[in-house]
Structures are given as C-alpha cells and as structure tokens.
Structure 1
Amino acid sequence: MAPALLAAIDLAKDYSNSSQGLTTQSLSFVGNVFARVTPETFDLALDHLQRSVGQYATYFGAASLISIDHVVSLLDAGAAKIFVTRPQLEELKALNIDQDRIVLALPGNTRQEIINAIAGTQVDVYSHQVQDTGLVEAWLKEYGTDRPDIFVSFASPAIDDVLRISKLAAVPVIPAEVLTVDATKEPGLLSVARLVMADATSDRPDGLFTTLVTDERGVALGLVYSSEESVAESLRTGRGVYQSRKRGLWYKGESSGDVQELVSLSLDCDNDCLRFVVRQKGRGFCHLATPTCFGQYTGLSKLQKTLESRKASAPQGSYTARLFSDPQLLRAKILEEATELCDAKTKSEVAFEAADLFYFALTKCIAEGVSLEDVERNLDAKSIKVKRRRGDAKPAFVSSQPASTNGAANGTSTDTAVKEAASIPKSKEDPAGVRNGRIAMKRYITTKESPDTILAALQRPSQRSSDQIIGICRPIIEAVKSRGDAAVLEYTHRFEKATSLTSAVLRAPFPESLMKLDPATAKAIDISFENIRKFHAAQKEDKPLVVETMPGVVCSRFARPIERVGLYVPGGTAVLPSTALMLGVPAMVAGCKKIVLASPPRPDGSITPEIVYAAHKVGAESIVLAGGAQAVAAMAYGTESVSKVDKILGPGNQFVTAAKMIVSNDTNAGVSIDMPAGPSEVLVVADAFANPAFVASDLLSQAEHGVDSQVILIAIGLSEAQLAAIEDELHAQANALPRVEIVRGAIDHSITLVVDTLEEGMRLSNLYAPEHLILQVENAESVVPYVQNAGSVFIGKWTPESVGDYSAGVNHSLPTYGYAKQYSGVNLGSYIKHITSAHLTKEGLANVGGAVMELARVEELEAHRRAVSIRLGVS
C-alpha cells in the first residue's frame, strides 16, 4: 500500500533537533522518507538505513548512481524502493530484482514524455520537480486508478497543489524542511496532518474516522475515532490522541496514566480507516485495565509481557528469574530445545518443542533488552534482502546423524537420553566387541605391559560430561520444583511417551487388577522378599550403645528410622522388581513411616505388575509414575500429589545420578541420597580351578545390563589353553543371548588381565573397586581377607552374582564406578540415623567440667564456659 506522503531529507543533515520542519521523531510518525543518493553520499545512505531500521521506510533516488551494484546494495540493506532511470530499470530486471521495489524516474514532465516513459512498464513512476500541477492532475485522471503508484515532487510545493495531487491517490514527495506537525506554531509550513488526511473518507454523519489502534506487533488494542484535529494533535505531541464523540479531544491515559507513545499512523487500502501504531504504557489500553479491549494478550505477546515482568520483579523461586541470572543455563536450554525441535516427528511434538524453544529464545532476547518488535523488524528486513547466501549450516552443526545436545553416544534424541532406557543396542553392522570375527574382550598380560598401560586399561567407559548432564537436569528439577505435578506429567508424557497419563501418582492400596502375576513369578518374589527381610532384620541393633567415659559421664547412641524415604526403581530396557525389593524391604524392616517408590511407566501409562506387587509387599504409600530427574525432583521437593521424602535411594542412569547429587546439595530440599552410581560392572577373579563356562556366564550376566556396563576378568596364572576355553565359552554364550547386541557394546570396553599371582590380582581388584566381585578361585573363602574395596563379594564357583541380584538376601543396590572405595551398598543402616546422647550427674560435670571450661576459654567462647561454671559455682 502506498504511503500518504514522503518527506524528502538530506542524508548529510541532522534532524534530531530541527529548528524548522520535521524532526527525527516526527519523521517516524510520517512513516516514510525519501533521500537522493549520489556516489559521494552512498556510505551515508547505508549508515542511514542501519540507524533507522524499524523507525520508517526509506525510498532512495538512485538515478545519479552509476553503479548498479550500489543500487542492489541499497535494496539489500533495506531500502523500501529505489527511484531509477530506464537503463537502470532494465539492468535490475535482468537481475530478477522484485519490480515492486523499483520506481521509474520520468525523464520529463510533458504529457508525451510521460506517456512514452511509462509505456509497457508495470513499475511505479516518479515525476520530478513538477511545475505544472494541472498537467500532472490531468494525466493522473487519464491514467485512472488501476495503475502503479505515482510519486510526485514539486518545484514549489504549495498546500493546494499538494492536496489536489494527494486526492488523486498520488504520493507527494515534499522536503522535510517545509513540513510540520504543528501548523499553529509553524503556519508557513505544510501540515502533515492535512496531507495524511487529504484522501481520507468517512461515511459517518459526524465526519469522524474509524481508527484501529494496534501495538507494534499488529495486535489490535481497541477501536476509537479520529478527526483531522486529533490526528494533528497526536502528531504534535507524539501521543495517542483521539476524538471522543462526547468530550472532544481525548488524550489517552491523561487521567489513568496508561498513555500511548505514537509510533506511526496511516490509512487503510480504501482510505476509510486509520491505523495508529502505539507503544502502550501502564496497565493497558482498555478502561478495564486489560492490555486490549478484546481481553488479555495471548501467545508470544503474553509471554513477552510475562518475561518483562519477571525480569523487573520476579517472585521468589521463579525459574525464569534463574534463567536471567544464569546465562550458561539459558544457553544450554536453548541448545537442548533446538535439538528437541529438530528431533520432533509429529505435528503435536513439533508444536510442543517449538513452544519450548520460543520460551527460552525470548528469555534470551528480554535478558538482552531485545523485544519481539525488534525481532520482527529484523525478520522484515531479512525478507527484503536481495543478496542471498547459500544458507548452509556451519561445520560444527553438520553431522551425518541428527545433532543432539544430550543424547546417548549414538546421536539419540534428548527424550531417549534423558529417559531411563540408557542402553542402546549395537547394530549388526557395528563391529563393537568383535575381534577376529568373535565376541571377545581385549587381553593384557601384566608382565608385558607398563603399569600405566594397565591403569589406563582399568578406566571405566567414558561418561558424559558431568557439567553437561547437570545442565540438562537442573531445568527439569526447577520445573518440577516450581510447577509440581504439571511438570512431572509433562516430562513423563515427553520422555516415556505415556501421553494418556492424567495423574503422576498411584496410591496404596493398589488395586488387585494391577498385581496379576504368574504364580511362579509371585512365588519367586515371595521367596526373595523373605530372604532379603531375614538378612536385613539381622542387621538391627538390639539395644543402644552405652558407655561411661568417666564417673558420672554416660554417653550413648541409639538408632531411629528415617521417617520418609523415596526409592527409585529404574525402568527402561528391563523390568526390575528386584530393585523394588532391595530398596523397599530394608525400609520396611527399619520402620520407615512413609515409603514412596518412583519408576518410569510404560507407554500406555501403566506400571509393571511385578513392581506394583513388590510395592504392596513392602507397604509403600505410593508409586510415582515417572523416571529420571523429574522423579527425583518430585520426591525431593514434593508436589501436590507426591510426598516429600528425607532420603532418596536407588540406582539409575547418569541423569538420575546427577539429579540425586543436585537435590542433595540443595539445602532447601533437605534430602540426602544413598550414593553416587554408574553403569553396572563385575570383576571375576579366576584361577586354574575355575569352570570356564561359569566364568563366562558371570561376565555376561553384567554385560547384558547395557552397552555402558563393563566386565573385567583377572586370570591368575592361566595358560593359553585355559584362557581360550573361557573365551570360547564367552563367544558361544553371548551369541545365544537375546540381548547379544547390548552385550557386544559392553564387551567392546571390557578386558582380561592375565597376572601371575593371587596377590597381584587382588591388588588390581582393589584398585578397580568393583561393584560386584566374584571369586572363582581355590579356597575362595580364604581370599576374602584380601578384599579391601568392593560393593558385594560372591565367594566360590557355586555363587553366581545373579543370586545377589535377586534372592540370596544380600542387597544389589551397590556403589559403582569406583565408589566402592568410599561407599557401602544399601543396607539397613541406609534407612536409619544414629542419635547420640550424654547424661551427666553433678559428679560427672565436676569431673569433666574443668576440661570443658579450659577449651572454651582457648576458643574464646565465653558463653560455653559460663554454661559449666554457673553450674559448678566457679568464676
């Protein structure tokens, strides 16, 4: 749509404080300017475009420019239209430049010159320095209304001539110096208001003009009325001023304070409606104190207002405020959400992920003082560029597989990585774990290798950067902390694909229908339950510890159960009711008042009946239907449905471990954890008395947990034939397993260490500190004294690690990744706390009081000293 007029400016002139004519601010109200550009002022033109972006559109007279490259550069930099000669026009056509952005400058002003110039062209035309307005008026009438836009400048602009041209829908080009927005103050200049309203029409009896008021994004704020007088006043004051049908001029916000800054004004396509673009201040446009007369903002506009409010004054605990104060977190979330959007497949997933990305991207904008209006102005500017790059991605973002900021090693999506199923099977074509055509571990003979080589061989599989994992988990935790059940469900829908779930919690008593088991399975759980109960019950302390440290001074220690515990039961690639038993039974035995389980649901929203049955047997209060960091956060902080706990126990992938570490370090959570954890692992010590088939089966029982698991064989004095026998069994048994592709992933970073002596083997075992240690050696019980670091030990060839995982009675929730050097596995002590007490008689205080007072004096804690001295009556 053509502008009402163009204010012609001098590129070399500063209009910021013009003493006569339009100022820089007034130019923006008019909305369009014209500038003649020469080779000497070309750089000024580019600078002007950069400085004025979003303020007004600039039209350039480029007829005096010789280089067509300069013309194209101006269009590329954002010029609205270029006024060119006929030869320039033909060159631009050859370059496929959009003809809507080209205006043909007429070579003369006679009727015949005009007819000859415009013949056969559909571009807009410009008649320069017109002297005979009547002639132009005549050919405009002859030309009719079904034509391109006509731009006209005047040798001597007079208000009547300009108005006659305007009323014929031509666009007058008038020097800014002869235009004014305050005709009362500058009566000798041409009134912008009169020119803007020259072609306006009204069908109202009172002659008022319907006026639509919008914000800079084009969102309608309300409908009002204007007159030429109110338009003139609005231009003069730079505010939203309208014509009240009852009260005359209406200065919006004069009484309420909800004023409007004028951005621009224009007429619609048929000149019967004005549009005011404003920046609304205060509560909003409507008298009801809403942003618009049509209600609240929605979508991105609403989000922008919320973010601006959070930046100015965020409520305590606001996640958005945290994003503003933690640029690294915000960066990580933008990268994460961009990847999730790339990985989204369905329409709903794309919409969901795009909304997340918009939120974090707009947070970045608001943090840097950038508004949606700024962004949209840049989009508009980019849309009219004529010089196009290929648009290829930068090398860092090019990959043969979809990029991922937090997927598993195979380039999996965020959802796959964050959810509990961390083990991604190897494809049949992947050579992982295969050596010389066989599934085999790498072998080291320690006498032929340096200590550094052996130490390097014992390193666990590399895990993802802890900073990266924590960066992924923190926003999830904060979301659950601030939004409770809604956030838990949102992440469960996303990561577990359990979109049918409407509640995050299954409460006891659990329906019988959810515990329908094969009788053999129920019996196996019952046997395991009882053995685990017996072993942990035996760990109970019969009575408090009482010691009289000196006459009259009795110290004691007594145990109390932790009142509320949260038990994390992994899901993913395997159903793990055994973990529910290992965690739940000792909690029950300890007497914990509240037991909360958490486990990822299946895609249909259900939980496996084996886990529900185990939860029922241990007396769990509820089952949180969630996995990963969101489940940990729900138990740590509590939600509307999830009970807050005092301690969280249970294994999980790297994200679960990171989440446990985060909440345990948050003093506001007030929650502890059992131990850090990593992928499952086993170390088998075998000598010549070991059964090769048994050894191979023990190694594979852990390798099938996941591709990030690791198994180690320490072979003591075995011959080549004996080693080959174990390797043959390993290959044959592995190929018979349904999870062979997972096994190969684990075997790929698993090793055999051939040593000469038991002492050397146990030294290496203690250095490694395995989660599971299996002793398949002669007189295995006699080797137990050598064990310094291990989660749990399995003694002799008839004790496979599997019995510890399920039914023997020992606990299978154990420290991994070398943490067996510092941590115990889960036991009854994990669910109790010890409280100490001291009980002194008068004699006892007299006996110990002197020492207490002296140490208090040394530490300069006088109140401590006086608490004793007052009782003993000494100064």
Structure 2
Amino acid sequence: MIIPAFDESNGSQKDFLAFFSDVLAENVTIANYESVLGNDSKATYWLCASNVDDALKLLDAGVGKIIFNLDTYLQIENDINHVSPQRLGVVVGSSQSLSKIQQAAHQPSVYILAGDLATIAQDSNVVEFAVSAKKNLLPEGGARRICVLTDRAPQLELISSLDKVNLDVIVPKQFLTTSSPAESGKINIGQAFMASAITDRADGLYPTMVVDERKVALGLVYSSVESVAESIKTGTGVYQSRTRGLWYKGATSGATQTLLNVQFDCDADALQFTVRQNGSGFCHLNTKSCFGAESGISALEKTLFQRKQNAPEGSYTARLFNDAKLLNAKIMEEAEELCEANTKEDVAWEAADLIYFAITRCVAAGVSVSDIEKNLDKKSLKISRRPGNAKPKWEAAQNNSEKPAAPAQPAAAPQPVATESGRIKMNYHDATKISSKERADLLKRPIINSSDIMSRVTPIINAVRERGDAAVLELTAKFDRVQLPTTVIKAPFSPECMQLDEKTKAAIDQAYDNIYKFHDAQMDRETLVVETMPGVVCSRFARPIEKVGLYVPGGTAVLPSSALMLGIPAKVAGCKQIVLATPPRPDGSIVPDVMYVAHKVGATHVVTAGGAQAVAAMAYGTETIPKVDKICGPGNQYVTAAKMLAQNDSSCLVSIDMPAGPSEVLVVADQNSNPAYVASDLLSQAEHGADSQVVLVAAGITDEKLAEIEEQIHVQASRLPRVDIVRQSIPKSYTLRVANLSEAMDFSNDYAPEHLILHIDNAEDAIPLVQNAGSVFVGAYSPESCGDYASGTNHTLPTYGYSRMYSGVNTLTFVKHITSQQLTADGLNRLGDTVMQLAEREGLEAHRNAVAIRVADLRK
C-alpha cells in the first residue's frame, strides 16, 4: 500500500493528501506543526520527534503517530512504555538494523526502512520480518506495518508485489500527481493507491461502501482504478457505474459529495469512501441513505438544522434558538435530572432530554455532531491526563446536596468502607465491640426518598386515571421504548405466544405442581362455627377476592417464577378475574414463559405494560383493562410507590399485598458451616441489584473459618456474569460476629429479614426461635434459590423489616373472610340486656331500640 509523504521545507502543499488515513510529514516540528497542519484533525499524520517531551506534546495535540530514529527510541523506550504502540513508529534505516529493534520490549506499530525498493523486496530477512510482524497483532487490534521510504517514483507492479509481503511504500509528494497519464518521473496517486487492491470480479470492479462523516452507511456502489483516481483528483464522490461508466455523484441531481477519506478494508478487496453528503441525500428516493430514513441522533441533528433555517411559527425549538437563557437553563435542568436518575429507564430518558438540548445548543452555534465526534476522537488521543476534578462551585453544590437528612428522618444505614483493590468484601462488625447505637444502626436499611418517588409517580397515576388506554400506550412508549397497538392480550392466548422448548416447559410444570400443592393445602375451605352462648351461633367463611391484579417485573428479563408465585394462589383461591401485568420486550411481545404461566393459572388478561402506569391501569381500570380489587407482586420503587398511592386513594378502592423495599437475606452460620455454601447464598441475593443487602451473622466462628467464607465470596463473585452489581451490593453489606446461636437469633428477629437461611447444626431445632422472617431456609441443603423457584413456598415476601407485621404472599392473600351470626329467640332473650346496656352507655338509642323492640315481644 502507498503512504504519501510531504516535506514542508520544500514548500510542498497538502492538497490531495487529506484523503489518506496515513501521511508522513517530514520536517514538521513541535514549533511549526500548528501552522503547517492547521486546525483540522492531526490523527492522520506521522510526525518525527527527537525527544520525549516533544513527542508527548505532539501526541497530546492529536498527532496520530510519532516517529523516532532507532537509537533515540531504544534510549527512551522505558519513558514511553505507557504510550500505546499504535501511536509509535521507528525509522530503522537499513535492513541490517532489524535485529536491533527486535530487542526492544515495547515494539512500535510502524518500522520504516530506507533504500532501493527492488533490492529490499529481494532481502529475505526483511520479508521474513514483515510477514512475522503482520501476524504479531497490536494489543488494541490491527497489524504492525513495515514501510520502505523511496527516493523515486516506484513502478505500480512493484507496489503491488511489496504489498503481498506486508511492505508498504512511502512515496514523497513530489513523485505523486493526479494527472493521467502521469508526468515524467511521477505516478498517478489514485493508480498507486489502487495498486494494492484485490478483486475477484470479472469486471475488475471493487465493492465500495459510502459513509458519512459519522461513519453511517449511505449506500453500496462500485469503484474502478479510474474512478478512484478521478475522485481523488476532483475531491468529490466519483464511482464506476456498471452501465454508464464513470459516475460523478450528484452531477445531475445536485446531491454531490465532498470526498473526505478513502481507505481499504482489512483484506484490501473492498473500499470505504467517507464523504460529506450535499443536497437531498445519497439515495434516488431523496433519503440520506439507501437503507432508509435517518434515526436517533442523526435524525435529531438534521431536524434541528432544518428548524434553525426555517422553524414553524410557535415551534418550541425555534423558541430555544431565539432565547439563549432558556436554552442554557434547560441544559442545566436536564443535567441535574440525569444526575438524580436511578433506574436504567430513567437514566436513558433523562440522557435523551439532555442530548436534545445540548445538540440544540451546538446547532445554534453551527456545530455538527461530526464536529463533536472529532473532538471526542482528539481528546481520546491525549497522553497526559488532568486530575478531572469538578470546578469548586459544582463540588460545593454536590456537597451541599449530600448534607445529612433532617433529624426527623431515620439515620442512614452504615456506609460501605473502602475495600482492598479489586477485592469483593463485606464490612465487618464484632457484637462485643459495638455500642447499642451502632447495633441499632446495623438494623436499618438504606433510606428511600419516598417523597421524590411519589412526586414522580403521581403524574403517571393521574394521567392513566384521566386518559386510560391512551396514557398507558404513551407511557409504555416513553419508558419501555415500545409502540404498541393495544394495551392488553385477552384469553384464550394463542399457542404461538407460548412456544417453549420442552426442557423449560418441564421445569415450569414441575415448579407449578409443587407450588400448587403447597398453596392448595393453605386454602380455608371449612366454615368456622362457634356457639358463643346458647342460641347465639357465630361463623366465619372464606370467599375469593373476585378481581386481582398481578404485577410481574420483566421486559428484557424472563421471570416466569413471579408469575407462578402470584398466579397459583390466586387460582387456588378461586379468583374470577386474574389480570397479569408485565413490561413488553423491545419487539412488543411478552416472553413466552410468562404467557405459558398466565395460561396455566387461568389469567383472563395480560397487560402489556410495566411500572407505575401498569399499576394505575389495574387500580383504576381503562377502556380495555379491567379494574381490580387487589394488586399483588414485587417491583421497583416506582411500582411500590404506585401501589401505595392507589391503596391510599379512597376513590380507587383497591388493596395491595404489602409495602416492599430492596431484596435482602440474613444468613446465620456456625463453625461447622460450609464456607462455599454460605458464600453462594449471600451472593444469590447480592446479584439482585446494587441496592440489595446481605447480612452474615457468624455465631461462634473462628477467624480461620470467617476468612474461608470471605475468600469464597470473592472467588465466587468474581466468576459471576453480574459481578458489577455484586461489587456495588456486597460493600454495602456486612458480617456481624456474635458469641452464640441465641445472640444470632436475637439479632435476626430484630432485623426481620425477607429471607433467613440457617447454616447451623440441627437447624430445624432453631425454628422455634424465629419470630420475624419472610421465609426460612433450614439447613445446608436448602438454598434460597429453591424457594425462589420451585420448592413450593412463595417468594413474594415482606422486605425492609416489614416481616415484623406482614406475611408473604399466600393463598389467603387472595381471599377475604366473612363472618355471620344467627340468634334464636332464646338466644336474643339471653343476650339482649347486655347489648341494650352497652348501646345505652354509648348513647346510641337506635341500636338499643333494635334489640328492645324484639325483647319486649319475647317477654310479653
């Protein structure tokens, strides 16, 4: 392949060199590089440097590659070993010096030889070195290059033959021309460039991908040696039509192209033209690309530039262009909201808002997205790094926003301590060395800012209550990024939406059977009858809640287990209408696992929405989504807030299963526990989310045993796909060492965990000591995972300490109890005086009279 070179001392001009990805610039120094290279990107240039300081300054300035002579490179090798080899080259000189550079520990990406091309091509040492260098890929990808600097115009055939053995040819600009035929002593630059190209097509053409400044594909065309040479000569997009010959893009339509760069792919059998597209677009259908309309940031940029030129009257974007203060205020507002966003969906949503206003600011100043990307690329080339601290006013603002909560609020849970580099480690506390206040702090969970969450959820609930299906569809498009035609799928469900492999179906079926068996045994089918006194019979009987809503978290996740845990007890209870809500996947469908479970439990509707809008739809009802009487199911803080807001609205008339916080587990382990098992149970909960909390209460454990558990936590966590989440949750968690099992169970009952796991001898004997827990896992062979999926118990459990007063979801969650009483005449006569006396004491004469009027008849 040919690499152009120019020597500024000879007054050479750059002109067509700008189209090449690599250009050697001789006699360009630290003193004159700015004036010679101008303000454009310097990433394509190779500049020579004689010392480390100059080299680093040039690299920081964005120069693509720094070339040293061999002796200098060997002297300063240790001073530049932090620089990527991709940015370094060495002038080796003669082929005899190759062995010398091979001794360097930090091999560069480019080696430059000088001499007669034909002679070098015959040198077996050079060829062997070139072939081996090409196979020795760079750490960041790409092949090392061996270049030969020539002092005359080479033959095109020689360029081709050298390329076959990985030898590039550096040709000074004075030997290059765009004329065809070339002047005496020169070669045509386009022909020289294409001398290394390969094609297996009968017509000798080369597939060419045309891309814009952002490397977005515009279309596929063909090139020839002649068309490439003409394109470089004119600085425009020129291609080879298979029917019309040379094709000057836009010559008739006006949609011309300004050539920016030409390069081969890795096999030199295809080309990429980078162009600036002018006019209506590349495609004859008047779109920018042959692959359809623009989208995302490209579409936004295009719209904003159009709005800047000719915005519709009353357009918000036009207002932003005309009101700099408003635009600046919106950028700062959206930046703050992005910093406050917590969930993945919120971060994406707020980032999109910020990008819109930021690009509007750029367009107002005439800055394109391509300009932004060029600056990003330039900054990525910097070698020296600033500390990166925020300016004082922003540091102060952030510090002020993190002041301690007001005294009326509970104190935050203990903050994570710094761990040794890279090690995943829980905090440690010894019960004998902490104060009663410190112990009380360990019982607290991280504070949830409910007021902020409620303020975000309330408008969502109001929108759904007021506008029904339309609001649900809009909010699903906003938060789930899915445009849906309808909000609900009604039973019976199509077999196509429930297609599963047999192994998955068998697993769901077995889990279903176990969960059903356990929950069926809980059903209260007998009427309780008690004669409280002669002639007075009181009874209590169960009836199903008629309409229930089940919230199953999901979207990109597959959570058939939550559908089973909620749907089965509702079915056992006999609920007449089971409405299941779950977020849709990116294509708008519901995962087949959940649909299969919905079918098995007899769901009547599946709502294709998630978050607060799904809760609101079930709580208030819409045109297509039935209103329910009770909503059950886990979810994030927005789902929980929506459930609580709906329950507190008397006009809604809906109840919920329980409040909820982040998932948690407390493990009690003794000296005989298996460290690997203990660690695995802690981690199975820690991977739920960054806000999950796991607690290990070590009862009478030695230092050695505790060290084994800690080692297992680190080793097992490091192998997990969700290790990044674990790295956030584990440092917020802790180990508490206590003297014995009695102290361990006291702490557990005070903590009131969602999951309690007993890794102790004779674990079943400790069950009578359990006062507060969502679910208990007894012994070494009862991992929490079994309860989460298929043992039979329910995994929708009270968190955040609510197990002190709430049960987990069960069959009775979906029934209500009705009492009745029946009195005979004798019974009323016996009880009447008591009732009348109490009614008289309360001043409720009508109550007294309802009894007195009957008793008077009985006692005549």
Instruction: Give, in whole Å, the separation in 1 of the partners of 2:569 and 2:302.
Output: 45
> How far apart are the structure 1 equivalents of 2:326 and 2:604?
60
Deviations 1:41-81 (A, max 9, x none): xxxxxxxxxxxxxxxxxxxxxxxxxxxxxxxxxxxxxxxxx
* Structure 2 equivalent of residue 94 of structure 1: none
Q: Which runs of 5+ in 1 are unaligned?
A: 1-343, 353-371, 418-428
Q: How does 1:253-652 map to 2 (within 5 A)?
A: 403-404=338-339, 406-408=341-343, 412-414=347-349, 434-463=419-448, 465-499=449-483, 501-572=484-555, 574-652=557-635
| 8 Å Cα contact 2:555-2:582 kept in structure 1 | no
CA 656–839 in structure 1, closer or farther in 2 if over 3 Å, else same: same
**Residues 351 and 513 from structure 1, CA distance in 2 versus in 1: closer, same or farther, beyond 3 angstroms?**
farther
Residue 587 of structure 2: SS of its match in structure 1? coil
> How far did residue 575 of structure 1 move?
1.6
Q: Which AA in structure 2 matches 1:825? A: G
How far apart are the structure 1 equivalents of 2:435 and 2:331?
40
**1:832 to partner: Cα distance:** 0.4
**1:872 and 2:855 equivalent?**
yes
Residue matched to 1:685: 668
**Equivalent-residue separation in structure 1 for 2:418 and 2:720 (angstroms):** 14
Displacement of 1:838 after TM fit?
0.5
Q: Which residue of 2 aligns with 1:655?
A: 638
SS at match of 1:715: strand
Moved over 2 A (4+): 344-352, 388-399, 401-417, 431-437
Give, in angstroms, the shift of residue 518 of structure 1: 1.5
Q: CA offsets, 1:369-410, max 9 Å, x none?
A: xxx99x99xx89x979xxx999976998696x8635554499
CA distance in 1 between partners of 2:735 and 2:750 (Å): 15
Q: 1:565 to 1:392 in 2, by over 3 A?
A: closer
Distance 1:553 1:390 in 2: 75
Q: CA deviation at 1:748?
A: 2.1
Q: Report if the CA contact (8 A) 2:753-2:801 is conserved.
A: yes
Q: Deviations over 1:148-200 (max 9, x none)?
A: xxxxxxxxxxxxxxxxxxxxxxxxxxxxxxxxxxxxxxxxxxxxxxxxxxxxx
What code does the residue aligned with 1:867 have? Answer: A
Q: What SS does structure 2 have at the residue aligned with 1:595?
A: strand
How big is the alpha-carbon RMSD for the aligned residues of Structure 1 and Structure 2?
3.3
Partner residue in 2 for 1:697: 680
Distance 1:580 1:416, change over 3 A: farther
1:678: Cα distance to partner?
1.2
Show CA shifts across 1:88-138 (max 9, x none): xxxxxxxxxxxxxxxxxxxxxxxxxxxxxxxxxxxxxxxxxxxxxxxxxxx
Secondary structure in 2 matching 1:817:
coil
Asked if the contact 2:555/2:584 (under 8 Å) is kept, the reply is no
How far does residue 679 in structure 1 lie from its aligned partner after superposition?
Answer: 1.2
- Quote how far apart the aligned CAs of 1:350 are: 13
For each residue in 1:481-530, what CA deviation from the matched residue of structure 2 results, as whole angstroms up to 9, or x when unmatched?
1111111111111111112x111101111111111111111001000000
Q: Which amino acid aligns with 1:640?
A: E
The Cα of 1:802 is off from its aligned counterpart by 0.5
Distance 1:508 1:416 in 2: 38
**1:792 and 1:814 in contact (8 A); partners too:** yes
Amino acid at match of 2:738: V
1:587 alignment partner, SS class = helix
Secondary structure of 2:590 counterpart: coil
**Residues 813-864 of structure 1: per-residue CA shift (max 9 Å, x gap):** 0001111111000001100000000000000001111011111111111111
Letter in 2 for 1:591: G
Label 1:432 to 1:564 Cα distance change in 2 as closer, same or farther (>3 A).
farther
Question: What's the CA shift for 1:872?
Answer: 1.0
Amino acid at match of 1:486: A
Distance 1:512 1:834 in 2: 37
Q: 1:541 offset after TM fit, Å?
A: 2.1
Does structure 1 retain, via aligned residues, the 8 Å contact 2:665–2:753?
yes
Deviation readout 1:398-438 (Å, 9 max, x if unpaired): 96x86355544998245799xxxxxxxxxxx9x99853431
Q: Which amino acid aligns with 1:513?
A: E
Counterpart for residue 759 of structure 2: 776
Alpha carbons of structure 1 residues 848 and 528: separation in structure 2 relative to 1, 3 Å: same
Going from structure 1 to structure 2, the CA distance change for 1:451 and 1:414 (only over 3 Å counts) comes to: farther
416 and 573 in structure 1: CA distance in 2 versus 1, 3 angstrom threshold = farther
Residues 409, 612 of structure 1: alpha-carbon distance in 2 compared, 3 angstrom cutoff:
closer
Is the Cα–Cα contact under 8 Å of residues 752 and 773 in structure 2 kept in the other structure? yes
User: Which letter does structure 2 place at the counterpart of 1:456?
Assistant: D
> What whole-Å deviation, never above 9, does each CA across 1:597-621 have from its counterpart, x for those lacking one?
0000011101111000000100000
Q: Secondary structure at the match of 1:734?
A: helix
- Please give the alpha-carbon distance, in whole angstroms, between the structure 1 residues aligned to 2:787 and 2:539: 35
Counterpart amino acid of residue 466 in structure 1: S
Is 1:709 paired with 2:692? yes
Rounded to whole Å, the distance in 2 between the matches of 1:855 and 1:744 is 64
- TM-superposed CA distance for 1:461, in Å, is 2.7
Does 2:714 correspond to 1:731?
Answer: yes
The answer to whether the Cα contact below 8 Å between 2:476 and 2:610 also exists between their aligned partners in 1 is: yes
Could you say what secondary structure the match of 1:439 adopts?
coil
Partner SS for 1:711? strand
Aligned partner of 2:796 among 798, 813, 818: 813
**Greater shift in the superposed pair: 538-547 or 611-620:** 538-547
| Cα displacement (A) at 1:460 | 1.7
**Correspondence 1:98-177 to 2 at 5 A:** none
Aligned length: 493
Higher CA-based Rg: 1
Deviation at 1:681, TM superposition (A): 0.7
State the shift of 1:542 in Å: 3.7
Distance 2:854 2:658 in 1: 44
Give the fraction of aligned pairs with identical amino acids, expressed as a percent: 57
What stretches of structure 2 of length at least 5 have no aligned partner? Answer: 1-295, 305-312, 353-387, 389-415
Instruction: Tell me, yes or no, if the aligned pair for 1:683 and 1:711 is still in contact at 8 Å.
Output: yes
Cα separation, 2, equivalents of 1:762 and 1:572: 38
* Contact 1:684–1:773 (8 Å) recurs in 2: yes
Q: CA deviation at 1:348?
A: 7.7
- The CA deviation at 1:720 is 1.0
Q: Show CA shifts across 1:193-239 (max 9, x none).
A: xxxxxxxxxxxxxxxxxxxxxxxxxxxxxxxxxxxxxxxxxxxxxxx
Whole-Å Cα distance in 2 between the matches of residues 604 and 432 of structure 1? 42
Structure 1 residues 405, 437: CA separation in 2 closer, same or farther (over 3 Å shift)? closer
1:768 Cα deviation (Å)?
Answer: 1.0
| Alpha-carbon distance change, 347 to 833 in structure 1, aligned in 2, over 3 angstroms | farther
How far does the alpha carbon of each residue in 1:326-371 deviate from its partner, in whole angstroms, 9 at most, with x for none? xxxxxxxxxxxxxxxxxx968689999xxxxxxxxxxxxxxxxxxx
Q: Is the 8 A contact 2:417 2:427 kept in 1?
A: no
